[in-house]
Structure 1
Amino acid sequence: MKKAKGTIRMSDVARVLGVSPMTVSNSFRNPHLVTDATRQKVIETATKLGYVPNTIAGNLVSGQSKVIAVMTPSIRHSSFADMIDALEQSLAKEGYSLIMSLVETREREVEALRALIGRRVDGVVIAGELQDATARELVVKSGTPVVETWHLHENMTDMSAGFSEHDAAADAVRFMIEAGRRRIGMIGYHPSTNRRLIERINGFRTAMNEAGGNSANVVLMDASINGYEAGAKGILQLIDVLPEIDGVFCMTDILAVGAMFESTRLGWPVPGRLAIMGYGDYDIAAQIPPGLTTIHTPGVEIGVESASLLLDRLAQKPGIAHQRRVAYRLVSRGSV
């Protein structure tokens, strides 16, 4: 007689395959203890039978949920998406699942973090860094492992994986200066307390000051102006204050593409009349003519290193580093 839905057990899967229940359990909870071929057979058979492992009992015994959370302000940009995809793939190899919380404002940070810790996730990855002091205190008191990402600095809450946003922005502007541009402006967003954006502005100013240029030509758009429109409006504002402008560094590729669209409408050839530099190396950067010169941010590498930090901590490996530095790179195309 066929069993009612929901009554398929681990022993049923084991009996069909002719393996032990422990092999079935390890295929879901400890995949490194079984071969890939065995695990694939177990998963296929479990799917056919309708078996879903009950993780609650195992969690109570092991003290681990085998779930990692990622908090991100956005999934619209390819850099964050690449990081999350690499994070999930790296964790899945060790039997961990990933859940995501979209946290677009600082006010939501504590609420989201409290909910995740309350669900006893084994760790949290932040796309960016914790901005609220209460959130940082919550992490410390709960003992939940946390990895903050992208911009590195000395006062991270726990662990971190990323690079210097300041140095990346400064290198972008230096590249434009080396290409002969001297009257360079910047388009960005009001950073508020976002340290990543603040460091990009500081990097622009560092490079301009080094070259004896004017580091004050910075136009910051309101966050309510989204997408290409912000870049288009930004370039018009820069032209108003610096009519002889010959280069512009944009805080994101989206802003840069908006500036390129507006330059075309103005009849300003890129890079003949105006060189444009982006930041992020989004998919559109390689497709828009004549190709957007930009900073490639290492989202994939950040995801891999974040997973490695958490897995090392959860395995209680001795002497692990709390910070992993990954490399950005400048991608030269046709816009500079």
Structure 2
Amino acid sequence: MITTELVRRIRAASDGGDDVVIAMREIAARALPDGVTSDDDFEVLVGAFGSESRTLGYLRRLAELTEPQDDGLRDAIQRVSTFAERVRDNGLSHVLQVIFENSHAYMDESEHLHAFTRAVTTSFSGRVTFANLNYDTLLLSGLLSVCSSSEVADLGHGGKKWTATRTDGTKIKVPALRESKHDFKDSQRIRLINLHGSITYWATKDGRAFAKLSREHLEDLEQWQGVRDGTTSLRPVVVLASQKDKSAHVQEFPFSLAYEMFVDALADSDHWLIVGYSFRDVPVNAKLQAEFNERALEQKPRVLVVTYGDDLSVREIERAFGWGQEDGSSVNWLTVVRSGANGVETTEEWADFHNS
């Protein structure tokens, strides 16, 4: 379990008693007071570290508002802000490094992913948009394995480059992130939008430049350690936040662009395939519900929800779309597959979905 490994690394970090590590451990202990028991703990834990970003924003604004003559108070606020930044960077770098290493480990078990992505991209002749909530690169790798690279695009810009400095001081050219949906070409039929960022999306600390680093750049792990040591000026661009804070985070670039494209994709499509989603993400649910409710009854999209087991009820799904009991049965637009994503493309439900 990723959560277990993450907690183990936090507990093992810097036994010398560094104040930042002590604070990081306390945040983890407070987020998981009863120990690591389920996958849900991961969202709770990363949300605890992600909330430090909001704290930093408040502290910096407070420092700006402090009376100019009160140098001591302003300096104290700045010291606290700097400390909170180090705590956040340490926590988030551990989170994303564990995700990166785990996604690399699963690359050899990709047959099911390739079969799934091949089925999705070949079953529909128009534009196919994948809106991904994971931070890893597994889906992108799957798409590039079964599709022509010229028709696949994510937020990484193929034309614009940005110069990044590695932790050893060497300069490399990396793709800049796209700034607008107009940066995508019409020929790029398969689009991947990481709604909450990716382990490969990074930015300068001042937030003025955004780029996509390669897996090779992250492979030697120096970049993750550089974040913790403060030897790199780059920071990962991801939404790691509690549900309470997430709505505010996604209004910032590049997440705002990803959500804009998500809304456009929902509006342009009559087939919505939802895989492995718990329907607990407030910003995502809001976009799904807004577009669903915008359509007349006879124009509702065909929705195929792929989950595993019986934990997610049909009623929960209906509520996420704004479909009330007074609206009657959802059978005309909703189908649920409970056997998981592996092999879903071979089921009768899939055949009915893409042929409708």
Greater per-residue helix proportion: 2
- Structure with higher Rg: it is 1
* TM-score (norm: length of structure 1): 0.33
* TM-score (norm: length of structure 2): 0.32
